Structure 1
Amino acid sequence: MSVTPVVILTGAGRGIGLAILNHLLSLPTPPNILAVTRTITPALKSLAISHNNLEAVSVDFSSSSSDLKSEIASSVVGVAVSRWGRVDSLVLNHGVLDPVAKIEDAKVEQWGNTFRTNFFSNVELIHGVIGELRKSKGRVVIVSSGAAVGAYTGWGAYGASKAAMNHLNMTLALEEPDITSVAIRPGVVDTDMQVALREVQGSVMKPEEHAKFITLKKSGTIVKPEDVGAVLGNLAVKAEKGLSGKFLNWNDDILADYR
């Protein structure tokens, strides 16, 4: 008798996360899903009501509280194990771009907040679920960024935190041979973050950098959330061991079978 896999998905309330969630729910045999988000949006609440294989919990990963680790264990991993008895996949999608500021204008405490959200909370999540993933020979899918390997003016905190996630991915793959871990570069995706970049935060960037994002939107070549969401969702349930430790573009040829 086959066992229905259990997926923990963070940042599930909007953008790429919501696209991943919708894809997973649309699969012929959908997994059980714990959707984690700072704010449970009306769209997510509606999905949770209409799908008995979906549960949503609210967690603020920006919290600097010393109790955050136990909060994650009880509110995230504990909820999944209590309801479904296992965890097979962890999709790390939550994150913030702010502060968008040059290094000369940087405030270290703001960088600390970015790393709290984008990096340290992910280390804590992996730490909290690693025992379950060992048992299930499970998967970790990390939503990374091109900013991890390429600099943009004012993106120092965000890019550095994503570079740290890429290294965490490699380390996890090395240390945990029974767990498949892969980091994905989703490209420039048509989300609220891109709206903020075009309309607000672009003033910090160089004109040619800002123009790139405007042009992608106007030309219609910006990535659709549902396209990259399908790849990330498929990786969550069937990523092969040969991908472990890699940092890949969402549309790389090696991922053709996941599109």
Structure 2
Amino acid sequence: MRSDNPVAIITGASRGLGLALTAGLAGAGWRLVVDARGAADLTAAIAELGAGDRVVAIPGDVTDAAHRRALIEAADRLGGPDLLVNNAGILGPSPLPSLADHPLDAFREVHEVNVVAPLALIQLALPALRSRDGAIVTVTSDAAVEAYPGWGGYASAKAAAEQVTSVLSVEEPTLRVWSVDPGDLRTRMHQEAFPGTDISDRPLPETVVPAFLKLLADAPPSGRFRLADLLTGASR
């Protein structure tokens, strides 16, 4: 990142990994534009961070074109985005259905939120990112590369998002374009994937923030990274 006061857009920032990354980047001096679908939850979460005017919160749905434009315009007012983190996503039906029984409307929605909307936001952000030698992060999952029963909807969307990211990395060689797998975390989405199961043994999202900050500091070539491996120098 070239700027002394870098700017990031983070989607899905009212809880979980998105909120943890917002807190980590704000603490590291970044200025942020963040969103989430729930206005009240987003406002409360950002207020609790105590980051002042370093974080601009814009409630809305990433599938809405006007909302995506509002995110870019807000980042432009701060000087333009150096980093776009496509973190917002949905799991789909819970309990997770087999592909034989997966409702097709829900399947389309999972792909719209996890693949189409992030690409649409990337397209809007690209001019500024190119001018600032910026970076794009697609938050992915091991489900994108492993076959787990019941995960067909979410997994196929994450696999598609990863391939979009990979192709983008060769089409935009001046940018850093990363797929980032945070691992299993103690989040609401992970709980929805395992209803009735105690997931308290999973690490909190805050635990992976140092590895994410290392990714930004080291700025390795485009590729796929597991946050658990970053501190040891591995990638996958």
TM-score under structure 1 normalisation? 0.81
- In structure 2, what is the equivalent of residue 250 of structure 1? 227
Pairwise CA RMSD: 2.3
Q: Say which is worse superposed, 159-168 or 189-198, in terms of deviation.
A: 189-198
- In structure 2, what is the equivalent of residue 210 of structure 1? none
2:145 to 143, 149, 157: 149
Structure 2 Cα separation of the partners of residues 51 and 103 of structure 1:
45
- In structure 1, what is the equivalent of residue 57 of structure 2? 56
Structure 1 Cα separation of the partners of residues 4 and 46 of structure 2:
26
Q: Do the aligned partners of 2:12 and 2:89 also contact (CA within 8 Å) in 1?
A: yes
- In structure 2, what is the equivalent of residue 16 of structure 1? 17
2:217 to 219, 226, 238: 238
1:129 to 111, 125, 130: 125
Structure 2 Cα separation of the partners of residues 239 and 171 of structure 1:
22
The runs of at least 4 aligned residues of structure 1 exceeding 2 Å deviation read 42-45, 47-50, 68-71, 194-200, 229-235, 253-257
Matched, 1:72 2:52: no
In structure 1, runs of 5+ residues without a counterpart are 201-212
Amino acid of the structure 1 residue aligned with 2:102:
A
- In structure 1, what is the equivalent of residue 31 of structure 2? 32
Amino acid of the structure 1 residue aligned with 2:217:
K
Structure 2 Cα separation of the partners of residues 78 and 165 of structure 1:
24
Question: Share of identical aligned residues, percent?
Answer: 28
In structure 2, runs of 5+ residues without a counterpart are none
Q: Do the aligned partners of 2:183 and 2:227 also contact (CA within 8 Å) in 1?
A: yes
TM-score under structure 2 normalisation? 0.88
Structure 2 Cα separation of the partners of residues 165 and 70 of structure 1:
22
Q: Do the aligned partners of 2:143 and 2:158 also contact (CA within 8 Å) in 1?
A: yes
Q: Do the aligned partners of 2:185 and 2:205 also contact (CA within 8 Å) in 1?
A: yes
Structure 2 Cα separation of the partners of residues 122 and 44 of structure 1:
23
* Aligned pairs, number: 229
- SS, match of residue 184 in structure 1: strand
Q: Bigger radius of gyration, 1 or 2?
A: 1
C-alpha offsets along residues 58-105 of structure 1, whole Å, 9 cap, x if unaligned?
A: 1213x4xxxx334312x1111110x21211000111111112211111
Q: Do the aligned partners of 1:48 and 1:56 also contact (CA within 8 Å) in 2?
A: no
C-alpha offsets along residues 214-242 of structure 1, whole Å, 9 cap, x if unaligned?
A: 5xx36x3x22211123323443x435242
C-alpha offsets along residues 114-144 of structure 1, whole Å, 9 cap, x if unaligned?
A: 0111110000000000000000000011110
- Residues 103-118 of structure 1: matches in 2 within 5 Å? 103-118=99-114
C-alpha offsets along residues 160-203 of structure 1, whole Å, 9 cap, x if unaligned?
A: 01001111111111000111011111111011122223325xxx
- In structure 2, what is the equivalent of residue 89 of structure 1? 83
- SS, match of residue 96 in structure 1: coil
Q: Say which is worse superposed, 139-148 or 32-41, in terms of deviation.
A: 32-41
Structure 2 CA distance for partners of 1:251 and 1:89, relative to 1, 3 Å: same
Amino acid of the structure 1 residue aligned with 2:185:
V
Structure 1 Cα separation of the partners of residues 167 and 224 of structure 2:
12
